[in-house]
Each structure stands twice: as structure tokens, then as C-alpha cells.
Amino acid sequence: MEQSKIITIKNLVKKFPVGKGFFIALNGINTGFEQGEFAGLVGPSGSGKTTLLNIIGSLDSPSEGSAEVLGYSVGSLTHKQAAMLRRQHIGFIFQTFNLLPVYTVFENIEFPLLLMNMTATERTKAVHDAIEWVGLGDKIKSRPAMLSGGECQRVAIARAMVKKPEIVLADEPTANLDAENSHHILQTMEKLNKELKTTFIFATHDEKVINYLHRKIQLFDGKIAKDELIKSI
């Protein structure tokens, strides 16, 4: 079955100013992602995984080359256009969960929907669906401080998935979790990937995550060292 490319990266270079010179985080990246992929950017610290993830997520822009996400050229988007792209089409999962501490589980998951101006009824239904996906029905009124690390990350997954985005970007999602919780959330994400055809892209060096990946892109010193398809979509 022919898959559509939703992310295309060509000759991507990302430089950061350091002193009088530059640190080259990404150097000539060429790759692409199809809809429904469960792929990972793997490599040691400083290899450029997070930088590439940030560019795909339109949180950062390329210094040279191009990154096209869902037809939008990330480098030429204004702040507002980039925000709209993230709001409508991209979900983020962070290593440190980044839940809003003063909100309940329900409110945290509801947040992206508020930005999309959905009605209260639509939001409530969508949030309950998302809570069901991650199995946190009994924690709906809890605040993040009352949850375990695994539960926090499941809330973060629900928050990323609640708007049913085309792409979910997960930066070291298991780094703060024990083995059991890591497997649990990876299984959840794999299930959502299958059911909703959402593209998941991980930045990780965790073996537990790597074992779940369908595609592994090995980064080293800002370059793709190896691009390995483990399991086709």
C-alpha cells in the first residue's frame, strides 16, 4: 500500500551560535516520514535528536535546507503560522511530562481543545475518550502532583492525542519512568498509532523504546548514520 509522505526533510542544517562561531547540531539531514509511522531518532546525547524533533514540531527553524511538515515549510512560517500548525496537527510528549501543575487531569487534557475553540460538549467527549485510551478514568480530578510518573506521562499522552493530531513528537518519553511504566506507555502509544494512524516520532536513547520502534534513524554528530526499517506500516 502506498503511503503519503507527511514530513520531508532536505539538506537540513541547524547551527547554534557559540561564542564567535557556530555549533552545528544538524548537518545535511535528508529524510522523510509517512503517515502512521512509529519511528525513532536514536543516538547519544548531542547527536541532534531533539533539535530535529523541534524543527519538525516547528518550535525551531532550519539554518539551511528545508523541512516540510504537512505541506508547510517550517523555515518560512511566521510565529503565528507555526503556532497554528502545532495547535491543529502536532502533539508533543516531553521527558518531564510538562503538565500544567495547577490544572486537574481533565483540564490538562482539555487544554489543546480550548485552543481549538471546540465547544464544551465536544471537549468533554474528546477528553473522556482520551482518558479512556490511557486508562486514567479514576484520576480525572487529580492534579499532577498527586500522580505517579507513569500516570503523569499517560496524561501527557492523552493531552497530545486528544485532538487526534497527524503527528506526535515524543522527546525521551520514558527517561523518567521505570521499566514497567515505560512498557505500559509504549504499548499505549503503539495501540494509538495502530488505531488512529497517528505518526509517532521519538527522540530517544532508551533501549526499551528502541525495541518498540518500527523504524530507527540513527543520528551521530548531526548526521544520519543509519536509517533502518524494522517493521513496515
114: contact with another protein by CB under 8 A: yes
Within 147-186, the residues that bind another protein by CB under 8 A are 159
Minimum distance of another protein from residue 167's CB (angstroms): 13
Q: Quick check: helix, strand or coil at residue 102?
A: coil
> Quick one: 149 or 183, whose CB is closer to another protein?
149
60: contact with another protein by CB under 8 A: yes
20: contact with another protein by CB under 8 A: no
Minimum distance of another protein from residue 160's CB (angstroms): 9
Q: In the set 66, 72, 94, 129, which binds another protein (CB under 8 A)? A: 94
Q: In the set 107, 129, 190, 221, which binds another protein (CB under 8 A)? A: 107
Within 25-54, the residues that bind another protein by CB under 8 A are 54
92: contact with another protein by CB under 8 A: yes
In one-letter notation, the amino acid at residue 166 is: E
CB 222 within 8 A of CB 25: yes
How many other CB atoms are found less than 10 A from the CB of residue 76?
A: 12
Tell me the helix, strand and coil percentages in the chain, rounded to 5. 40, 30, 30
207: left (phi over 0), alpha (psi -120 to 50) or beta: alpha
Contacts with another protein by CB under 8 A: the residue count is 28
Q: Which residues contact 37 (CB under 8 A, 6 or more apart)?
A: 199, 200, 201, 214, 215, 233
